[in-house]
């Protein structure tokens, strides 16, 4: 069990049989009375955000998460399918549980799947992925209204802003933590 003094960002705990991750917390000591810990928590299954206040001395149940290396296979309607590289078992995860990770999923990409009580609750893609540009708007020299960046679409359908020298067919590297362009990849 955790105590409230263990609270920190990215700590995972269980509230009402659901895994939550601490996204912000604040310690407050009023003039008299017990110290308070105000937290902002995100439900790791539904994505809902709640605010909760704890008093000093309260205990918290840790959320034990398993992480498995799996390979992305394909998308069918609203589900994404992954295969365990060791057992060859396949699982389906809904688009809602994937969040922004679905913008970077290409066939055969190896990702880390988070499990809570044998239920898949999320996907951690690699930090950097290489994707091919499928659509790039032309850029005219002197067009500085958008601070020298232009919109492009990559093979997964994800849209982002890149420097003007990136053209259709280029392979670019994207940081999956921020969703931003990193560099053009030499082939």
Q: Are 91 and 103 in contact (CB under 8 A)?
A: no
Structural domains in the chain plus CATH codes: 2-62 (2.30.30.30), 65-124 (2.40.50.140), 128-184 (2.40.50.140)
Q: Which residue has the tokens 């850029």?
A: 139
Predicted local distance difference test score (pLDDT) of residue 147: 63
Predicted local distance difference test score (pLDDT) of residue 31: 81
- Measured on CA atoms in the order 177, 178, 179, 185, is the torsion positive or negative? negative
Q: Are 20 and 43 in contact (CB under 8 A)?
A: yes
Cα–Cα dist 107/84, whole Å = 14
And the tokens for 26? 């604040």
Residue 21: how many other CB atoms lie within 10 Å: 16
Predicted local distance difference test score (pLDDT) of residue 56: 86
Cα–Cα dist 9/24, whole Å = 6
- In degrees, rounded to 5, the angle at the alpha carbon of residue 153 between the alpha carbons of residues 136 and 177 is 130
Q: pLDDT of the chain along its 187 residues, tens only?
A: 999 888 888 889 999 999 998 989 898 888 888 889 999 998 888 778 899 999 988 999 999 999 999 999 999 988 899 999 899 999 998 887 787 888 999 999 999 999 998 888 888 899 999 999 999 988 766 655 556 788 999 999 999 999 988 999 999 999 998 999 999 998 8
Q: Are 42 and 96 in contact (CB under 8 A)?
A: no
Residue 70: how many other CB atoms lie within 10 Å: 23
């Amino acid at each position: 069990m955790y105590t409230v003094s263990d609270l920190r960002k990215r700590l995972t705990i269980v509230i009402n049989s659901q895994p939550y991750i601490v996204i912000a917390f604040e310690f407050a000591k009023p003039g008299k009375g017990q110290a308070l810990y105000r937290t902002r928590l995100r439900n790791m299954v539904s994505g809902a955000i709640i605010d909760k206040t704890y008093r000093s001395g309260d205990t918290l149940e840790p959320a034990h998460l398993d992480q498995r290396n799996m390979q992305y296979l394909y998308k069918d309607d609203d589900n994404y399918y992954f295969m365990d590289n060791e057992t060859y078992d396949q699982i389906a995860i809904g688009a809602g549980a994937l969040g922004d990770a679905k913008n970077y999923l290409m066939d055969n990409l190896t990702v880390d799947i988070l499990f809570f009580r044998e239920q898949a609750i999320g996907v951690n893609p690699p930090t950097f992925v290489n994707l091919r540009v499928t659509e790039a708007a032309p850029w005219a020299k002197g067009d500085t209204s958008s601070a020298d960046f232009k919109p492009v679409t990559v093979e997964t359908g994800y849209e982002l802003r890149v420097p003007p020298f990136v053209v259709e067919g280029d392979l670019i590297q994207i940081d999956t933590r921020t969703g931003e362009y990193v560099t053009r990849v030499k082939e």
